[in-house]
Amino acid sequence: MPELPDVEGFRRTLVGCARGRVIRRIEVYDEGVLHGVSPQRLRGELEGRRFTEPERHGKWLLAHTGGPTLMLHFGMTGRLVCSSPDEPVHPHDRVVFTLGRERQLRYRDQRKLQGLWLLDPAGTERILSRQGPDAGTVGRADFRAALAGRRGSLKAVLMDQSVLAGLGNLLVDEILWRTGFPPGRPAGDLSADDCDRLHAEMRRTLRAAVRAGCVPPRDTWLTGRRDDPGPACPRCGTPLRRARVAGRTTVWCPRCQP
DNA sequence: GCATATGTTATGAA
DNA sequence: TTTCATAACATATG
């Protein structure tokens, strides 16, 4: 599930559920999601501290605490859930933060492809330095600069988190469809004007998706059709094409994206 | 058993 | 140096 809009939703969950509250207790149900930190050290460093204002960059969520920062990545199936301590522990609840008598913040993830890191400022910097500008806030000029000189396909380049942080497989397909560019087109050959159009559609798409808290499976969106049997373009009705581009299943309209 | 899945990273080849 | 495909990670579903 998680691309930029989903992670932005998790940031809001963290704000609503945990910001300003003391971490009373941390339970680790599956150590497999902890990276470079033991359950003992996680508890030792964070129990008694408060969650402060969190940040998001691309698909990374930074939960600041006044001490070390908890960095979260959700892989393909992770999410953040705010619940009451009375809720039974879900089989995929990997780490549970209890914030008082009435609230728990739960890192829930089926596949455990990513997880949680506990980092000092140098550690967070090490991760963020490998990320391109955030796709939701990048300006036109920086967007052009990020794409300039790239020889890969638009699909590959836009999904590369070190070029631009936050877009995933579905969003890239959606944005390319709206802009009318085929996924295999080389990113480096876009004119300044083409770049600006792509940038505008990206920002528009992200705004709508962030408002919805996810990439909406609406049938006016390409994303809403990709899993249909015999999928057709929501705009022109042409049968959609499906192929592997840059290693991921890619869907596009051959008529709208020539 | 097989293929698929919204993510990232290491590896080897071109 | 850049780019690409591939496998790996762990788990579920059709």
Residues A99 and A56 grouped into a single domain: yes
Residues A93 and A178 grouped into a single domain: no
Between CA A119 and C1' B2 the distance (Å) reads: 41
User: Residue A63: is its pLDDT beyond 90?
Assistant: yes
Q: Any atom of strand C under 7 A from CB of A91?
A: yes
Residues A115 and A153 grouped into a single domain: no
Strand A93-98 relative to strand A25-28, pairing: antiparallel
Tell me the average pLDDT of chain A: 94
**Per-residue model confidence as pLDDT tens digits over A68-97:** 999 999 999 999 999 999 999 999 999 999
**d(C-alpha A210, C-alpha A230), whole Å:** 29
| Three-state SS letters, A56-69 | EECCEEEECCCCCE
* Residues of A belonging to the active site: 2-3, 59, 248
Q: Any atom of strand C under 7 A from CB of A247?
A: yes
Residue where a domain stops, chosen among A100, A128, A156: A128
**d(C-alpha A131, C-alpha A229), whole Å:** 36
Pick from A35, A72, A57, A66: which is nearest to A129 by CA? A57
> Which nucleotides of strand C lie within 7 A of protein CB?
2-7, 9-12
Q: What is the mean pLDDT of residues A28-57?
A: 96
**Closest residue by C-alpha to C1' distance, nucleotide C7:** A247
Number of structural domains found in chain A: 2
Reported confidence tier of residue A214, pLDDT bands at 50, 70, 90: confident
**Per-residue model confidence as pLDDT tens digits over A183-202:** 999 999 899 999 999 999 99
Which comes out higher in pLDDT, residue A101 or A3? A3
Residues forming beta bridges with residue A115, ordered by sequence position: A73
**Distances from the Cα of A165 to the Cαs of A7, A59, A172, A198, in angstroms?**
12, 7, 12, 15
**d(C-alpha A234, C-alpha A203), whole Å:** 20
**Per-residue model confidence as pLDDT tens digits over A94-128:** 999 999 888 999 999 999 999 999 999 999 999 99
Domain membership of residue A245 (yes or no) is yes
Q: Any atom of strand B under 7 A from CB of A248?
A: yes
Q: Any atom of strand C under 7 A from CB of A239?
A: no
Residues A111 and A40 grouped into a single domain: yes
The whole-number pLDDT of residue A1 equals: 66
Which helix (H) or strand (E) is A2 found in, with range?
none
Query: Domain residues for A227?
Result: 140-252
Residue A52 maps to which CATH number?
A: 3.20.190.10
